Structure 1
């Protein structure tokens, strides 16, 4: 097994209890008993399955429901997957035919073909990952599609205020490709505002209008352009660090002739801003060539401040532009001593084997408002030679929860980890950053 693989470690544990079970009851393997011994030892989010030598198989989900898990059973097949849409597409099914495997449960398939759902561990507070809904899961799932629409819609009021409601000189666009659905929601919000303005204006005229005046008002539209074009079918989020910076410089191009020089404000929405690398090295630079009056980058996700250890490789604190922004703010205000204070706190917890008991890093953000962090992020993602003003607008935690009501796992944004291991990884990642170690937090 690969020593760096969490799945390999889980397989080792399962293998240990499989061997014990076989020694105690030769030829009478009980996979449920094995899972009940092994799974409580796992800290984190998971959806995994396996098949053992006697033909029994299983599909297992973590107690908090951090990772999604779905299944479908008929007379011929038993199917498990982390996404409902994948099963629906493969087997041409309706939504209600694909079932969710509930947290702490396992789908057991015996060698004789019998199927059952067994509770392996006690379900805990549901903390389904919200980032699945924002970015990772397929947007073809109808619920995820509606939630991404809602994420964009909820940003519309903030953005309208940011552009001073000047829709005549504002162009809306999106960063390909995963932000497109949230973009539709953003446009719907802007259109609702514009339609309300049309109604109010027309009513205020009374009878003082002619066909030309009415036509001009009715035909007012939200200005939409496909500004950014992605040239390669690669997602820089999941690209190796060593090749990322070089690649992002060549990923995007822009559509020329769409912006009025020094008059139009460009509003571009992305699903999330993690490192800020693509924005700084490519997108902002390319957009500035169009000579807009101002660029507003919108994130359908809140500020990503903390690492993940539940199946997504985001464990280096220095990778997060929000964290780097907070560090810069501390330095600017002469408060960098807080970094050493928090480091010593982490070391003390580590000495007492208590590193998992609290998220120390949350204290780093307390001196600043979300807006202060956003303003600093805007500076960090703007290269020194770019003269066009750049602003960044993020989703709020409250609106995220309203848009994705069944996925309240928000540790990326709040640092509220559902398991002790999350706190430990976050604290360790912070220690690595301060000590100059460019390694994972786990």
Structure 2
């Protein structure tokens, strides 16, 4: 019901044949460029703020450009950057455009390495200068670096201190720029190591260049740069001399998948994207494992190497619940399982009255969980019918069978998204009035005052849309009871690995817990947590514990859900309302391979996450709680 901004998307292609090969087989040397466009469009769900692409042309002569980049802002950025590339070819004849040798020698973006990025800011920093890929230029081809990634570092301060201690002077304080400078510094050292070797062998001139470019090892660069990084990341890089790499964080927080044949190596954030673009089967796609890097040398040799020791795997569960495309085979089944897990809690909320209950979903991203929920109730109803027939104790009559078998699970499309809230309206009351009309209701889908209405969402985080729009429009149907269902557990803690959830007081679960503490005469707990967080700020992050858990400790999930209902109920709405959340146990049973649940449990996988949640609570207490006491 409320959209979350989330992590970025990446796509990389390394062509393993000459451009002439693709011209002859596929009718265009732009095979790699076209495939990159498709990979990015198929991941458009991951980036609405901007997009960028970079290309490396190998074997360019001195004086010829060999690294190219295009970036743009906005939801139409993908179209804009690829249109800009094609615009450069507008004056070419058909013969020139079909000449791969000419393209390789003369045209921009006619290369062997392609890198694409979709950006969704989670740091509050926006603008074209923050759109990936980033470039680090140098007169030595091997020292040029293009970098992009799907990441948030939680210890930017430590990485910044490390590189400034080595004498570097980053222009901007952001994790991407700082990572670019740090990796670039290690790339310089790797190049200089080989330079010294070449000179020691008596080489000079371009022979030194060739010696460096034939032997440079980007995995050496990663082994010296990456151990300092704390956070969730998939980092992609390409050098001017033709090296490329993709590295995944050792906790497996952020996702990456790859495929290779004799024509191409491709990497993307989501598996079905590669499947669709290259017409592959699920089993042909490989997951890049935690701490692992896939790299391709200038000569086309691919390597899979363990750069960082794998930690306890904490792959992001929100990827499965919400972010990744539901067309992935496993994600589709997991989302259905999430809906199935909720059956018993929903039955309790409706008092077991399936005859007078209508099921629906808002928004469309919750549709697959909705199907799983329906499947669970259909199976339950079938078992109920069998029990009813067996309980008759005699051969049932036609009328008895008809009465029993005519029972069914009722589902309707009760709400349709109708308009987008116009952001040029800034006055609060006007915006609230518009928000109330974002969804259009399907009148007559519920028997007024007789039917319960169960509506499933994939997550209920802030509650703003519920209060300003959803509850009001559902109430217009006059249901006997509204049951709001979340296929994910209560979001209680900020995320620092790529999702736009960083402030404590934006979570309705947190606000509800604080209100309960006040009501029950336990407001002192908030101050005690603040003091505990303050005391820990002097400790190394590895020794910190999440003190914020104490805010929730006195209450059950049901306590917090009931308080949420009180806080979210719009004025004038008297219909009984209940909120049903997924449990942590249900989440892990549905998504067993993706145990990263820190936004629900507070169990951060990295020390940097623990440090930042304590810091966030300090900020909340000093800026919000004190002011409202």
Shared fold (TM-score, shorter chain, > 0.5): yes
Deviation of the 1:206 alpha carbon: 3.6
Q: Does 1:23 align with 2:23?
A: no
Name the counterpart of 2:375. 188
Q: Aligned residue pairs: how many?
A: 433
Q: Does 1:177 align with 2:346?
A: no
For the residues of structure 2 that align with 1:261 and 1:251, how far apart are their CA atoms? Answer: 23
- Alignment partner of 1:178: what SS? helix
- Alignment partner of 1:179: what SS? helix
Check whether the contact 2:525–2:551 (CA below 8 A) recurs between aligned residues. Answer: yes
Name the counterpart of 2:513. 326
Name the counterpart of 1:83. 270
Structure 2 stretches lacking a partner, 5+ long: 1-128, 131-171, 196-211
Deviation of the 1:112 alpha carbon: 1.2
Deviation of the 1:8 alpha carbon: 2.8
For the residues of structure 1 that align with 2:616 and 2:187, how far apart are their CA atoms? Answer: 34
Residues 83/244 of structure 1: CA separation in 2 closer, same or farther (3 Å cut): farther
Deviation of the 1:6 alpha carbon: 2.8
Name the counterpart of 1:360. 547
* Aligned residue among 165, 173, 182 for 1:13: 182
Computing the radius of gyration from Cα coordinates, the structure with the larger value is 2
Name the counterpart of 1:202. 389
Deviation of the 1:423 alpha carbon: 0.5
For the residues of structure 2 that align with 1:346 and 1:176, how far apart are their CA atoms? Answer: 37
Deviation of the 1:353 alpha carbon: 4.8
Check whether the contact 1:134–1:271 (CA below 8 A) recurs between aligned residues. Answer: yes
Residues 355/284 of structure 1: CA separation in 2 closer, same or farther (3 Å cut): farther
Per-residue Cα deviation, 1:47-104 (whole angstroms, up to 9, x for no partner): 1211011110001100010111100111111111111011111111100100011100
- Alignment partner of 2:266: what SS? strand
- Alignment partner of 1:168: what SS? coil
Per-residue Cα deviation, 1:312-344 (whole angstroms, up to 9, x for no partner): 121011111110110110111111111111111
Check whether the contact 1:356–1:424 (CA below 8 A) recurs between aligned residues. Answer: no
Name the counterpart of 2:306. 119
For the residues of structure 2 that align with 1:30 and 1:355, how far apart are their CA atoms? Answer: 31
For the residues of structure 2 that align with 1:66 and 1:355, how far apart are their CA atoms? Answer: 18
Taking only aligned residues, the RMSD between alpha carbons, in angstroms, comes to 2.1
Check whether the contact 2:467–2:568 (CA below 8 A) recurs between aligned residues. Answer: yes
Runs of 4+ in 1 over 6 A off after TM superposition: 242-247
For the residues of structure 2 that align with 1:140 and 1:233, how far apart are their CA atoms? Answer: 25
Name the counterpart of 1:249. 436
Check whether the contact 1:174–1:270 (CA below 8 A) recurs between aligned residues. Answer: yes
How does 1:37-436 map onto structure 2 within 5 Å? Answer: 37-207=224-394, 209-232=396-419, 248-354=435-541, 357-436=544-623
- Alignment partner of 1:268: what SS? strand
TM-score (structure 1 length as normaliser) = 0.93
Residues 245/80 of structure 1: CA separation in 2 closer, same or farther (3 Å cut): farther
